[in-house]
C-alpha cells in the first residue's frame, strides 16, 4: 500500500481570542502521492484553518491543542522553525485565493516567479529566468517574456492567477495547496483555471489539497474529498462515492441540494434544518466527550 504523502492525524485547535472555542475537532485525513484531495465545507467550517496549519501560517489567535501533521515522515508541528521553513519552502506550495493581493505590487512578475528557485534550489538568475519562462508557457500565458518584466497591476485577474499557479509549481513541490483559487475570478475564467491546475498536477505528479466550498469543483477535479462542518469531519472518501452514495446525512443533504444538469425539473432543496441540527448535536457530543477526558 502506498504510503500517504501527507497525513493529518487527530488535529484539534482552539481560538484563544474566543475563549478557547474549538475551531478544529479531531480532524484526520490522508493525501496520497499524485492525489487531488478536496477539503470541502461552508465558510467557517475550518478548511482554511487546516490548510494554514499545514503551511505553518496560522494566525496568532489559533492554537493547536493536539494532533500531528506528517509530511515525508516528519511532524511539521514539532519541527524547529527554520527546519519547517526549509521543508515547506521546497516541498509545499500555495495557490492563494485572491490574485489581486497575493502578488507584491512593487516587484516584477519575473522576480516573484524566480524567488523559490533561487532560494531553495540555488539556481542562477539566468537559469531561473529560463525556467520561469517555461512555466509561463505551461500555464498558457501569451507573451511570457513581456509578462516576466511586467508589474502585477498590468495583468488581468486571470493572468495573475496563472502566474500564481506557475509560481506554485516552480519548484516541483510534492504538495500544492489551492485555497479557493477561483473564488475571486469571473465564472468564464474559473473553468480554465481549474483545468489548468489539473493539467499541471498531472504533468508534475503533484498532490493537491483543494480547499473549496463548491461541490461542482470537487466533482470536477478531486479524486478524494474530506467534508467538514464546524471543524469536524463529517465524511471523507473517494469523490465518486461521496457524490453517488453518500453515507452521512450532511453529505446526503448537500448532494441533494446541489443543482444538477442531468436532472432537469429537479427541485432545489436547501439542507434541512433537521440535518443541520443533527450535525450540531454530533459536534456538541464530541465536545462533551473531549471535555470529560480532557
List contacts with another protein (CB under 8 A): 55, 57, 82, 85-86, 88-90, 92-94, 96, 98, 101-107, 115-116, 119-120, 151, 153-154, 164
d(CA 262, CA 22): 39
Q: Which is nearer to another protein, 112 or 239 (CB)?
A: 112
Q: Which is nearer to another protein, 63 or 121 (CB)?
A: 121
Q: How is residue 176 written as a grid cell?
A: 500544492
The nearest distance, CB 102 to another protein, in angstroms, is 5
Q: How is residue 238 written as a grid cell?
A: 473517494
d(CA 14, CA 290): 13
Q: Which is nearer to another protein, 69 or 93 (CB)?
A: 93
The nearest distance, CB 150 to another protein, in angstroms, is 9
Which residues pair with residue 14 across a beta bridge? 22, 63
The nearest distance, CB 205 to another protein, in angstroms, is 21
The nearest distance, CB 231 to another protein, in angstroms, is 22
Q: Cβ atoms within 10 A of the Cβ of 101, count?
A: 12
The nearest distance, CB 246 to another protein, in angstroms, is 33
The nearest distance, CB 145 to another protein, in angstroms, is 17
The nearest distance, CB 278 to another protein, in angstroms, is 37
Q: Which of 222, 262, 266 is nearest to 31 (CA)?
A: 222
Q: Which is nearer to another protein, 72 or 270 (CB)?
A: 72
Q: Which is nearer to another protein, 163 or 254 (CB)?
A: 163
Q: Which is nearer to another protein, 211 or 227 (CB)?
A: 211
d(CA 173, CA 205): 9
Which residues pair with residue 178 across a beta bridge? 95, 210
Give the number of residues written for the chain. 294
Grid-cell match 499545514, residue found: 54
The nearest distance, CB 82 to another protein, in angstroms, is 8
- Given a contact cutoff of 8 angstroms between Cβ atoms, the answer to whether 169 and 116 are in contact is no
Instruction: Give the H or E element holding residue 292.
Output: helix 273-293
Q: Which of 96, 90, 99 is nearest to 177 (CA)?
A: 96
Q: Which is nearer to another protein, 121 or 191 (CB)?
A: 121
Which residues pair with residue 175 across a beta bridge? 92, 207
Alpha carbon of 50 to those of 138, 141, 243: distances in Å? Answer: 29, 31, 23
What are the backbone dihedrals phi and psi of residue 43, each rounded to the nearest 5 degrees, phi first? Answer: -60, 135
Amino acid at each position: 500500500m502506498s504510503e500517504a504523502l501527507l497525513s493529518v492525524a487527530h488535529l484539534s485547535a482552539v481560538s484563544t481570542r474566543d475563549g478557547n472555542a474549538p475551531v478544529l475537532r479531531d480532524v484526520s485525513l490522508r493525501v496520497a502521492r499524485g492525489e487531488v484531495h478536496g477539503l470541502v465545507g461552508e465558510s467557517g467550517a475550518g478548511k482554511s484553518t487546516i490548510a494554514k496549519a499545514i503551511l505553518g501560517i496560522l494566525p496568532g489567535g489559533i492554537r493547536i491543542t493536539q494532533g500531528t501533521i506528517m509530511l515525508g515522515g516528519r511532524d511539521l508541528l514539532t519541527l524547529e522553525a527554520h527546519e519547517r521553513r526549509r521543508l515547506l519552502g521546497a516541498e509545499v506550495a500555495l495557490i492563494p485565493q485572491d490574485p489581486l493581493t497575493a502578488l507584491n505590487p512593487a516587484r516584477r512578475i519575473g522576480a516573484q516567479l524566480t524567488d523559490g528557485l533561487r532560494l531553495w534550489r540555488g539556481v542562477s538568475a539566468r537559469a531561473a529566468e529560463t525556467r520561469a519562462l517555461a512555466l509561463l508557457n505551461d500555464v498558457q500565458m501569451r507573451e511570457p517574456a513581456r509578462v516576466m518584466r511586467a508589474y502585477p497591476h498590468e495583468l488581468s485577474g486571470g493572468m495573475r492567477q496563472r502566474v500564481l499557479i506557475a509560481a506554485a509549481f516552480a519548484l516541483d513541490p510534492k504538495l500544492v495547496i489551492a485555497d479557493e483559487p477561483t473564488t475571486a475570478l469571473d465564472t468564464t475564467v474559473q473553468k480554465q483555471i481549474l483545468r489548468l491546475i489539473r493539467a499541471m498536477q498531472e504533468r508534475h505528479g503533484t498532490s493537491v489539497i483543494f480547499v473549496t466550498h463548491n461541490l461542482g469543483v470537487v466533482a470536477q477535479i478531486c479524486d478524494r474529498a474530506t467534508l467538514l462542518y464546524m471543524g469536524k469531519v463529517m465524511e471523507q472518501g473517494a469523490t465518486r462515492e461521496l457524490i453517488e452514495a453518500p453515507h452521512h446525512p450532511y453529505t446526503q443533504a448537500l448532494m441533494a441540494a446541489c443543482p444538477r444538469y442531468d436532472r432537469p425539473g429537479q427541485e432545489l432543496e436547501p439542507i434541512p434544518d433537521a440535518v443541520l441540527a443533527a450535525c450540531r448535536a454530533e459536534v456538541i457530543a464530541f465536545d462533551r466527550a473531549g471535555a470529560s477526558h480532557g
